[in-house]
Amino acid sequence: QEETAAAGIPGFAMVATCQGKCFLEHFEGTYCGIGDNNLPFHRDVVHRAYSFSKPVSATVVMQLYQEGLLDIDLPVQAYIPEFTGGGKDALTLRHFLTHSAGLPSLTSDVPTEAAWQAAIEEACAAEVEWEPGSRTPYHARSSLFVPAAVARIVSDNMTWAQLCRERLFEPLGMNSSYFDMPPRGTPLSITPQPDEAPTSWDDMEFGFLGHPSGGLLCTTEDMMRFLNMHLNKGRWGDVRILEEATWNEMMRVVYQDKIDAAIAAGETPTHDYWALGWLTRGETESGWFGFGSKLDPTAFGHAGINTVIGIGDPTRDLAFTYLTSDSPPSDEVTVRLRNEVSNFLADAVPVLR
């Protein structure tokens, strides 16, 4: 509370579960919504998840993978014939899911079907910026857009919002999660906060709407359902989203051998601890998302710009999210706050496994 207030953040949420049971649910301060930038923060507020969308989208891709509808190790051009040239011929969905494709600079948003098709054309015309697989600089948009584009193709071109709703949101009971426009009147936190709150629903800005890499809207409750499903190796209650073998493949750090070799040689690794859609803590002290220094190396998570983070630690059966209703004053403050939250919760929950 003191740290968040000192950073000038108007509101925040912290929610945590252990063994699937909530032991911390705290909402404090205010958020910006329609007509008012001083609304009381509460559990039903829907948040812009930004890049926390990536593991959500990756999970749907892996559902199709386990059903044999797509192969993450086939060249993308097997599904999109125009995706060729410019060093792209050997690119696979695994490259994109691990930020190693060498195409980090795609910029298209996809609020409409026409924009989606234009984004595919942009990807097909792009040239790789480094040898695929040689390093993992962050692919903000392309990392999940290209896999999602293939997922749509093998799913009779169902919209991304519909595909996620039918395969993931409805089975998990994520009833306040959207890749499309939420119902009018939904309490939606606008982050980062604008200078003036929108005066009507029609004036709302839905940044990244529909984008598999950043367009998810959801509540903290839905985030916790999703995190706990992954802590349970693809299962939530009686619902199985991923087979355990698929979940294991999704959680495997793809470039672990290259990281180990670089460390053994006294060099700085050129790869981060990416699994498929998830970043794991690995052997870092904090990780650039803010894993802290006390969670297990197998802890997995993802951030969403500087306002959202969600993490699961399998050894503690711990899941938590920390969200702010506005951006902290700097990236340094963002990471410091997240590290403190991660360490605080690691201290609060013993290792169980």
Could you tell me the pLDDT band of residue 353, with boundaries at 50, 70 and 90?
confident
**192 cis-preceded (ω within 30 degrees of 0):** yes
Judged against a pLDDT cut of 90, whether residue 284 lies above it is answered with no
Going by C-beta distance under 8 Å and a sequence separation of 6 or more, which residues neighbour residue 331? 306
Q: List 324's β-bridge partners, or say none.
A: 12
Q: List 48's β-bridge partners, or say none.
A: 217
Judged against a pLDDT cut of 80, whether residue 287 lies above it is answered with no
| pLDDT at residue 262, rounded to an integer | 96
Judged against a pLDDT cut of 80, whether residue 263 lies above it is answered with yes
Digit-coded pLDDT (tens) for 56-84: 999 999 999 999 999 999 999 999 999 99
| pLDDT at residue 94, rounded to an integer | 98
Overall average pLDDT of the 204-231 stretch: 94
What proportion of the chain, given as a percentage, has pLDDT over 70?
Answer: 100
Overall average pLDDT of the 247-257 stretch: 98
Judged against a pLDDT cut of 90, whether residue 298 lies above it is answered with yes
Q: List 253's β-bridge partners, or say none.
A: none
Judged against a pLDDT cut of 80, whether residue 285 lies above it is answered with no
- Give the length of the chain: 353
Digit-coded pLDDT (tens) for 18-58: 999 999 999 999 999 998 999 999 999 999 999 999 999 99
Judged against a pLDDT cut of 70, whether residue 286 lies above it is answered with no
| 3-state SS class at 113 | helix
> Residue 42's Cα: distance from chain center in Å?
22
Amino acid letter, residue 47: H
| 3-state SS class at 58 | helix
Share the mean pLDDT of the chain.
95
Beta strands in 165-241 (DSSP E): 216-218, 235-236, 239-240
| The pairing of beta strand 279-280 with beta strand 300-304 | antiparallel
Overall average pLDDT of the 140-157 stretch: 98
